[in-house]
Amino acid sequence: MACSLSVDEMTLPPRPVPGVRDIVLVASGKGGVGKSTVAVNLAAALAAAGRRVGIVDLDLSGPSVARLTGTVAAPETGADGLAIPCRRHGLHVISIADMVPPEQAIAWKGPLVAQAVEQLFRDVAWPDLELLIVDLPPGTGDVLLTVTEQIPVTGAIVVTTPESMATIDADRAISLFHEHDIPVFGLVTNMAEFVCPCCGARQPLFESGAQANVAGRRHVADLGSIPADPGAAGCVASGMPMALAAPDGPVGQAFAELAQAVARAVIREREGERRRAAEEHSIRALLEDD
């Protein structure tokens, strides 16, 4: 079958997601580093700072956002047929875990995955959002490739632990984003240390330095670290993000600082886009005058 698309059509930029101004991906090279926890708490910290924030769970085979935010019901459908995000902790939440039974395994091939990704973005009645945080599955598979090709992304952060195998895979994730011209705002190191609740002493849980080496080699910012918290399991069970449960504690402060860093990175990226657009306009005007 002959392809009917023109070169111009194949190179069109992704269509905007209605209602959403900026989209920030939260990724990891491997599982088990607390990526979903970082995504939810980042979103919660941004909302607590007064921003209009949504979060979409694209970890289709292991969705965690519903449990981490405490959503328990399928989203309602509006008169236009679009799903209405659940509202929890000031966040607008969409997770496939709220749409299928908890015991149902989600094992889809590439075309179904791509269709599901498109629907979770575009078949949703997102309100007027400043930021949509996207919890990606670990690794660099079909979901991530669909997002990079079909969704207009403002930037990404990559989550790792200080452990060497996690940082190796984080390096790969950063490389893929760079290949697709997606700005990487920085590297977040999760579970880097334990903070004693009695004396405040900090005890590293891994050998340090590997994540800083990756950030330096890839020329991305080191967005700091999130300490491990013994109360995390209780927060998960209650569906309360740690950033809100104890905002003045070490974990809450770390997520507040991360939220500020991401907000600043989004502003810088938008300013850069405006400068590039102005330069391109000036060049076109000069060429037309000639």
Residue 163 and residue 175 in contact, taking contact as beta carbons nearer than 8 Å: no
| Number of Cβ within a 10 Å radius of residue 40 | 32
Joined together, the tokens standing for residue 26 give 């939260």
Q: What is the pLDDT of residue 197?
A: 73
Q: What is the pLDDT of residue 208?
A: 65
| Number of Cβ within a 10 Å radius of residue 90 | 15
**Residue ranges of E strands in the chain:** 20-28, 53-57, 76-77, 83-84, 86-88, 91-95, 129-135, 155-160, 184-195, 202-204, 222-228
Q: What is the pLDDT of residue 196?
A: 73
Joined together, the tokens standing for residue 65 give 């956002």
Identify the structural domains of the chain with CATH numbers, from first to last. 17-289 (3.40.50.300)
Q: What is the pLDDT of residue 200?
A: 72
Q: What is the pLDDT of residue 8?
A: 45
Instruction: For the chain of 290 residues, list the mean pLDDT of each consecutive stretch of 10.
Output: 46 87 94 94 97 96 91 90 95 89 72 90 96 93 91 96 87 92 94 78 73 83 89 84 92 95 95 82 77
Q: What is the pLDDT of residue 2?
A: 47
Nearest 5°: CA angle at 257, between 159 and 212?
45
Q: What is the pLDDT of residue 141?
A: 84
Q: What is the pLDDT of residue 9?
A: 44
Q: Where are the alpha helices (DSSP H) in 99-228?
A: 110-122, 142-150, 164-179, 210-218
Query: What's this model's pTM, rounded to 2 decimal places?
Result: 0.89
